[in-house]
Structure 1
Amino acid sequence: MAREQLGICAEANLHASYLLFNALEGQEAILRQKLARIPLLLARLAEHFSEAQLTGVVAIGANYWDSVYPGARPRGLQAFPFAGNDHLALAEVWADLLIVVRSDRLDVNYIACQQICQLLKPDVDLLEQLQGFRYLDGRDLTGFIDSPQNPKGSRKRQLTLVDPLAQPVFAAGSYLHFQRWHYDLLHWQQLEVSQQEEIMGINKIEGTLLPPPRLLANSHALSSRRGDEQNQPLLLMQNMPFAGQNNHGVISVCYAAEPDSFTRQFGYQLGYQTTSQLSLQQPANQYDLFFDYCHADLCAAFFAPSLSFLEMACRPNVI
């Protein structure tokens, strides 16, 4: 049975580090070996610093996949589908690799990232190293509970891990979309709490859906459910706030078992009511109200294969 990467379904941590790399041309064979070593490196550190609850995820970019694993491709894996959207001005970052490291100790994250970079350094260029942190009791910088609709228990695995019957080679892998959002907190904090709640669609304290008629169709919560509170979100969200002197927001990592889950859910948030509209690039209509207070400047699509796949891909003529 295929073994998934532990960071996909792990519980929330206090700190997250994100490493975005571009691979140097002609290094595919050695990188296949090194990518398979990263989970072992993380497992060794997790055992040594057991109280830190260290986990990680190795993901390969949609545009780089065929170069490093030419023998098989996850069904429906494609570049970030909304790059160039007029409303959000999304711009795709051409990253070949994404490594996510999460734990309850920032120093352990630092050690893990240092060792990963040392392992990969001769064969890659580091594009970005980003840092996220847990805010209050799992809240976003807006003050609202982050992703209160996230799946729990067995539903989490069902939603995020590829079904072995659907794609045996990629069983226990996961489609991953990465985004960095910047918040306009200056204008957000000028709103009354009741206005913020109607934009988000949830109660600010408890995180529960607002009752009608306060629950607006294009509120953030209902947009995530594709306009109907009976619809469950299609994605597992692993969001972590980031903050600097002049910028702040959230780093969003979305996992899904199906290749079109992100397109369906996020497309609805952008105002596209049907999948067929996405290729037409029509102006957004009834888009997520919270998009008036944030914008994304980094986005990319990846696939996080199973540990079993990473190990098998190192053997000649197997993948």
Structure 2
Amino acid sequence: MSHRVPIEPQRVDAPLTQSATFLVLSVTESPDAIRTVRKAVAGIDDLTKNVAIRDLSASFACTVGIGSDIWDRLTGLPRPTELHPFRTIKGGVHTAISTPGDVFFHIRSERRDLCFEFERQLMDMLGDAVAVVDVTVGFRYFDVRDVLGFVDGTANPVGAALPASVLIAEEENEVVAGGSYVVLQKYVHDLKAWQALPTEQQEAIIGRTKFDNVELDDAESGQKSHKTLNTIEDENGEEYDILRDNMPFGTPATGEFGTYFIGYSRRLWVIERMLERMFVGNPPGLHDRILDFSKPLTGTTFFVPSSSLLASLDSD
């Protein structure tokens, strides 16, 4: 990658970096809130360049997502076909909860200080137009592992399959062209209970070996692994991929250990089906056993517009 220029705005496929900040905000009822937020997101490219130029080798990038409840007032544009609030999924044992969120900023860099500086300048611009719903700082853990000890993101699409899986095609309509849906869930882990399991049992739950990340077959009992439940195929056997930029977060001193799930997709239904299979089970009743150790604290959905559409929002 060239270090002469910053990463293009709204690049959902920006590199996985050492640090990331996941910032979910709600728009307040202050008189100029909509105008302030609209101006901020429309000018996000300039703010990004202002921070990225300080170290072009740090792969700084920011992706902005807009939520369903604020879309009409913030953009005044036709709605993306699949955009709706995150749907609560209630299984027999576990529930994927839905939480608020109007605007999302996925801030990432090889340097934590650049993420910090961008967040500081952004919040100065937004002021009392927004309230913080959640802010989580993620970090890369060893060779892209989660805190459960397994490699995360192995199934991500590569090459030509990446834009085909993540970006909406030009022919759908000019509002959504080049955009993507993104789903967020903040999971906390019961690490003590997880570590009490034998490695073989952990591997059966995940569907891969822990040390060398080799794919495993599911048990004959009918209980499917996390890997299998997150594999979505249509009736013709065509597999639908998503792009995961998951990151660990936490503080051992407070006993907090977690994974921030973030999935980008051209088709929102693909991620929703994954979650249904995890929480309800396939067949129903055989839920993803990782949920016995991982609890979602949030659940939100956003649409990530193209950079040109985002920039046009402040054209008036």
Shift, 1:63, TM fit = 1.6
Q: 1:107 to 1:233 in 2, by over 3 A?
A: same
Q: Does 1:30 align with 2:39?
A: no
Q: Does 1:126 align with 2:116?
A: no
Of 226, 238, 248, 1:241 maps to: 248
Taking the aligned partners of 1:300 and 1:67, their CA distance within structure 2 comes to 18
1:255-274 to 2 correspondence within 5 Å?
A: 255-271=264-280
What SS is found at the alignment partner of 1:8?
Answer: coil
Shift, 1:152, TM fit = 1.2
Of 116, 136, 142, 2:142 maps to: 136
Taking the aligned partners of 1:222 and 1:83, their CA distance within structure 2 comes to 19
Structure 1 gap ranges (5+): 275-283
Shift, 1:235, TM fit = 1.6
| RMSD of equivalent CA atoms | 2.4
1:67-146 to 2 correspondence within 5 Å?
A: 67-82=73-88, 87-146=93-152
Q: Say whether the 8 Å CA contact 1:234–1:265 is kept in structure 2.
A: no
Taking the aligned partners of 1:13 and 1:192, their CA distance within structure 2 comes to 31
Q: Say whether the 8 Å CA contact 1:93–1:300 is kept in structure 2.
A: yes
Taking the aligned partners of 2:123 and 2:97, their CA distance within structure 1 comes to 25
Q: Does 1:164 align with 2:170?
A: yes
Match of 2:13 in 1: 9
What is the number of residues matched between the two proteins?
A: 304
Q: 1:69 to 1:83 in 2, by over 3 A?
A: farther
Q: Say whether the 8 Å CA contact 1:198–1:215 is kept in structure 2.
A: no
Q: 1:221 to 1:212 in 2, by over 3 A?
A: closer
Question: Deviation per CA, 1:157-206, whole angstroms, max 9, x where unpaired?
Answer: 11111111123221111101111001111111011111111111111122
Q: Say whether the 8 Å CA contact 1:175–1:304 is kept in structure 2.
A: yes
Of 190, 201, 209, 1:203 maps to: 209
Q: Say whether the 8 Å CA contact 1:35–1:58 is kept in structure 2.
A: yes
Shift, 1:313, TM fit = 2.2
Match of 1:222 in 2: 228
Amino acid of the residue matched to residue 55 of structure 1? A
Question: Deviation per CA, 1:250-301, whole angstroms, max 9, x where unpaired?
Answer: 0111111113121122212223559xxxxxxxxx422212111111011111
Amino acid of the residue matched to residue 286 of structure 1? L
Q: 1:42 to 1:215 in 2, by over 3 A?
A: farther
Taking the aligned partners of 1:207 and 1:106, their CA distance within structure 2 comes to 28
Q: 1:109 to 1:154 in 2, by over 3 A?
A: same
Taking the aligned partners of 2:45 and 2:211, their CA distance within structure 1 comes to 38
Match of 2:289 in 1: 289
Bigger CA drift: 81-90 or 187-196?
A: 81-90
Q: Say whether the 8 Å CA contact 1:160–1:257 is kept in structure 2.
A: yes
Taking the aligned partners of 1:71 and 1:184, their CA distance within structure 2 comes to 43
Q: Say whether the 8 Å CA contact 2:64–2:103 is kept in structure 1.
A: yes
Amino acid of the residue matched to residue 304 of structure 1? V
Structure 2 gap ranges (5+): 1-6
Shift, 1:64, TM fit = 1.5
Amino acid of the residue matched to residue 268 of structure 2? P
Amino acid of the residue matched to residue 199 of structure 2? V
Q: Does 1:20 align with 2:31?
A: no
Shift, 1:100, TM fit = 1.2
Match of 1:279 in 2: none
Match of 2:3 in 1: none
Taking the aligned partners of 2:20 and 2:189, their CA distance within structure 1 comes to 19
Aligned-residue identity in percent: 26
Shift, 1:208, TM fit = 2.2
Taking the aligned partners of 1:246 and 1:100, their CA distance within structure 2 comes to 25
Taking the aligned partners of 1:302 and 1:249, their CA distance within structure 2 comes to 21
Bigger CA drift: 104-113 or 218-227?
A: 218-227
Shift, 1:31, TM fit = 2.1
Query: TM (normalized to structure 1)?
Result: 0.88
What SS is found at the alignment partner of 2:154?
Answer: coil
Amino acid of the residue matched to residue 237 of structure 1? R
Taking the aligned partners of 1:261 and 1:296, their CA distance within structure 2 comes to 19
Q: Say whether the 8 Å CA contact 1:226–1:269 is kept in structure 2.
A: no
